[in-house]
Chains A and B, each alone.
Chain A
Amino acid sequence: MQGGKLSATELTEYYLERSERFQGALNGYISLTRDKALETADHVDSVRRQKGHLSPLAGIPMAVKDNIAVRGVPTTCASKVLANYVSPYDATAVEKLADCPILGKANMDEFAMGSSSLTSAYGPVSNPWDLKRSPGGSSGGSAALVAAGCAPFSLGTDTGGSIRQPAAFCGITGFKPTYGRVSRRGLLPLAPSLDQMGTLTRSVEDAALVLQEICGYDSGDSTSAPHGVPDFSASLIDDVSGFAIGLPKEIMESCPDGGTSRAVEAAARKLEQAGARVSWVSMPYLDESLAAYMLIATAEAASCLARYDGVAYGYRHSSLSLEEMYTGSRIFGVEVRRRLMLGTFNLGTDSGYELGQQAREQISSHLEKLFTEIDLLLLPAAPFIAFPLAEELDPLTMYYNDVYSIPANMAGLPALALPCGESGGLPVGMQMMAPRFREDVLLQAGYTWQCRSDWHLRRPREVEL
């Protein structure tokens, strides 16, 4: 593009056309924003013609998960309660990527509550590797679109694994940065103390490029980290010699999908050959972590979703009685209703949230101790591979999807999901976790892996034309 061989408009048009063509099969978008995308592309092209200043990613289109505010377009969180809501402002990350044409708002689980993208009020998303299977969730649309080549990259959010599990299900790279690295301003919260925005890309290299743009302190988010952002491209080195990698024994032994644990262990051996020291470590309290997560996330969600009352914006049920207007306007789907009930109930008990927070401290301090011995943890991104859309999972089994990813959210750690094999013909993802603010370690290890493997280069056959 800088050489003038390809215009932003041409590139955007290519992705828009692909996005529109596969929308029926994938249902990856809640809204497609063709006009807005072309407007941005045109702006970029004209600035480039005039040799004006552009950001490094200028002209590269993206899909934005529908729980991230984009000015002037619907921001629905895949919920009926926000069906007609148009955000009057941009999220900070979207502002920072202002030169990236926005193809559309990616489908997701309603209010990011789910690990399947089945809870969307706008229909489920299909996995491009097998349209009858789930792409995972909650950033299922974001993951499916990148995997299907409908978007070069997308923005997602991760509260308990919502970037990493769908990245694993769809065979792409998912990066959840350290809590506080990316501003949450404009992220419609599920659980503010756990939510973090991140990227879904084809490769670690792409992730580094996008992260470079969206990370950084924002005075508009009081939980934003004041830490400086290093040059992430400097970490794109094919070298893990001297890295101490910990493999959590309990997880590797108990992973319900044998194909997954085999693929992750094989990846570990390959990294060992590349010079890393791999050792077995103990990562206890997984069940407790999930339980604590449920306490915290549901309580915070019940609080954050109290604002959807039909008064000042969003869907309103017309009624002559205020009380009926309230209940009639809060038309969340069944999963959201269930979690709001759990959350409200435990906000009303004396110790629910506190209990969760105490367990969280415990889990965090254990991980902190672990990282005094190792540089990174290597584990499966999810206990399962993509499951059929038709499969009815009971809520607790569904929540179990996040059991390997939740500890990173509990402790605010950066984590990366990478394709590392297949199981039953479907992608398997492994996960790396590093200490807080050590995105560089993940990028270097992830880059090394992708230099020595080709899983991230494989494309789903369904959408090849």
Chain B
Amino acid sequence: MSSADSTTAAEQPTTSSSGSAPPALPARLRALGSTTALWIFVVDILLVLLFGALSENGSFLTASSFRVLGLDAAEALILAVGISLLLGAGEIDLSLGAGLLLSSVFGGKVIIALAGSGTAVAAIIGLFACLGTGAAIGLVNGLVVTKLRVTSLIATLATMGIATGIANIATSGTDLSDIPASLQDDFGIRNLIGIPLPAFIALALWLVTWILFRSTRFGLRLLALGSNRGAAERSGLKVDAHLIAAFMLVGAMAGLAGFIDLTRFATTNLAGHQNDGLAAITAAVIGGTSLYGGRVSLGGVLAGTLLAVILQDGLVVIGLSAFYQLIAVGVVLIAAVNLDQRRTPGGLRLRLRR
């Protein structure tokens, strides 16, 4: 950064503010997620090589192993991308895992009910059921936060419990088992040019969200809401509408992840998604996204998600318990945030500002 000449405004009459020579590279790096994301990417690559070296016959470095990695990463990435929207706006959503679960339950029931009228029809309507369920939870979150003035931490803690409860009641606590297995081959575990379809979708969503933050009015306004809520209000932004839209969008992403989960395993997983929401927040924060709003790193979201997934799969491949992943991710989380606070002058500021 060029802070040398930035200390004072000018007295000379003929000073224009630089527009002709924008600092292209630094700006682009900043958009990529500053250096935190890059460091995590480096760690990702080192871990892949490490696990490759430690696994028998290098089995971690095979195409099929990467496909599993891609499938595992797809749902996690979608949730992490979603949470970055809300973190950028200075809000949080703990209900993503529960939203994923409830969406997969409702979507699954719809698919089972429509199975007679053809798998394709059932799948498409099931997809919309998943998206709708997720968006509805998001709408509730948004309304509770904006209209009832409950902070998003509390609001989504509540809806997390509510959605989990509904999912268990609707299924009587038993996972759905009549999902047509053909959905797996057609969608859930389908490969396109050797890459799992869900991974494609997750990457596309990641890219779209990156563009959203980088180039669209909606993205800029979300960041403004997270950076200085009062200023955003005084600039005439419709704060409530933006927040509700963001919560719904994120909810719909959880619904999409629920559909992918459903079609990948051809069943629901009532016991399996409690930590998904927290894992998404962890991945985003590891990559340099601020919990306090205004600062999002999509590169970091990708790197942080991959880190968690690589650790999880890699540890299993080399014969260690996957529970070590939880420990490793926790340690990396603390280290990454600490590094971030030291390096960026804004680290402390972000906290003091509130």
Do A and B come together as binding partners?
A: no
- A residues contacting B by CB (< 8 A) are none
